Each structure stands twice: as structure tokens, then as C-alpha cells.
Amino acid sequence: QVQLQESGPGLVKPSETLSLTCKVSDVSLHTNSFYWGWIRQPPGKRLEWVVSMYYSGSTYYNPALKSRVTMSVDTAKFQFSLTLTSVTAEDTGVYFCVRGERGQQVISVFEHWGQGSLVLVSS
Amino acid sequence: EIVMTQSPDTLSVSPGERATLSCRASQSLGSNLAWYQQKPGQAPRLLMYAASIRATGLPARFSGSGSGTQFTLTIDSLQSEDFAVYYCQYYSDWPPEVTFGGGTKVEIK
């Protein structure tokens, strides 16, 4: 059973960079059968897709966040990471790491989710 | 940009009754529509994809329908564990984009 676990600081100052890591268990990242990524949920608001990436390096972004987002995969450490630069209070929320399986669409649904990591942007 | 609108915001249903949730898109999605269930403090759980295909292990009391701009998630004979928030999600063919609806909370009447 695939398990994903987010980690990272719970508090980030405005204008600084948010960094999160997702540790993956019981599955290899060394495959293009799956895509990995991040989805966030501001308090009381709808889910928002942030970014998805394949092992090959193909990366797909939410256009609204693309200029500030970087995602990377470290197969040796069984983890992938998210960085979001120049954060504001609008970036506060729970960040979920996710996995989906490649199908007819390059990115479609997300079958596996981490439990989520709460990030507060505040001075 | 495709906008996803779910209705109602809150649905009050008695256990054993049917719940019908709606998701409307501002443009045609074909069948590129998924549904998720989220309980308090938990991550969302995939229920349905391609509008009407149940995820592995999902009970048959959950069914999805629709295409184009109007979609429905139906839950027959609501069980206690079904009271949660439900989100629809659009996924595009190309370029890859993902958009979620605002959610419908199903609460005990």
C-alpha cells in the first residue's frame, strides 16, 4: 500500500520560500507509470492543484502559480519536494502530496494522498 | 479558465436516504470529471473518475453520471460514514490542468 508523508516547517514568513518534502513508502519513484505532485487547501476554501511531475522530468503547473513553483524528485531518497517562493498569507493552507496513475490524460486524478502538512504564512 | 460550481453548498439528509450532488462546469468537459470525499482532518479520497467509473473498493451505493457541463454524484441509502464534504474535479486532455469545485457538505438531517 503506497504511503506518502509530508514534512516541512509549519510557519513561513511573508516573502520567504516555502519548502516541503514528501516521503514515499512501498513504491519506487523510478517509473513513468505514475505522476507525483502537490495539492493545497487554504482554510475553508476549495482544493487547488499546484504542480505534478513525472520521473522523466516532465512537469505541469497550475498557471497561476507557475512562476513561483519548483518541484523535484529524488529517487535515491524515495522523496519529492516542493518549493514556493515569495509567499504571502494567500499561500497559507494544508499542502497534500499526491500520486496519480498515468492514463489517457497526462494528468488526471489522484488516487493516493498524504495526510497533509499545515503551513502558516505569517510574520 | 474552466470554473466548477457545485450545488448545493450543504445537503441535509437522513441516514438511509438518497443524496444527489451536482457539479456544473463553465465549459464542456467531456467525461473528464472525478469526485472525492473528504472527512474532517483527513485527506480527500478518490471516489469516481471519468464521470461514472467507481474507484477500487468503492461501494455500489455510490454512482456518478453526466457529461459535458453537468454531472451528478448519487449516494443511495446514506450510511453514517458517508457524511462528509464532496468535491468534483476537472482534468483536461491538453495542456494538463486540474480544477476543483467548491464542495458540497453532506450532513445528517
Q: How far apart are CA B72 and CA B66, in angstroms?
A: 6
> What is the structure's pLDDT at A28?
83
**B100 contacts on A by Cβ (under 8 Å):** 46-49
Interface of A with B (CB under 8 A): 46-49, 52, 60, 62-63, 96, 105-111, 113-116
Count contacts between A and B (CB, < 8 Å). Answer: 56
Confidence of residue A27 (pLDDT cuts 50, 70, 90): confident
pLDDT in tens, B37-95: 999 999 999 999 999 999 999 999 999 999 999 999 999 999 999 999 999 999 999 99
Tell me B55's DSSP state. Answer: P
Torsion, CA B92, CA B34, CA A50, CA A34, rounded to 10? -80
pLDDT value of residue A34? 94
Residue A30 in this model has a pLDDT that exceeds 90: no
The answer to whether the Cβ–Cβ distance between B99 and A49 falls below 8 Å is yes
| pLDDT tens-digit map of B82-96 | 999 999 999 999 999
Mean pLDDT calculated for residue range B19-32: 97
pLDDT band at A1 (very low <50, low <70, confident <90, very high): confident
- What is the phi/psi pair of residue A26, to 5°? 65, 20
pLDDT, position B102: 98
Question: How many C-beta atoms surround the C-beta of residue B19 within 10 A?
Answer: 21
**Mean pLDDT, range A11-25, rounded to an integer:** 97
Beta-carbon neighbour count of residue B60 at 10 Å? 7
Residues of A in contact with B43 (CB under 8 A): 96, 113-116
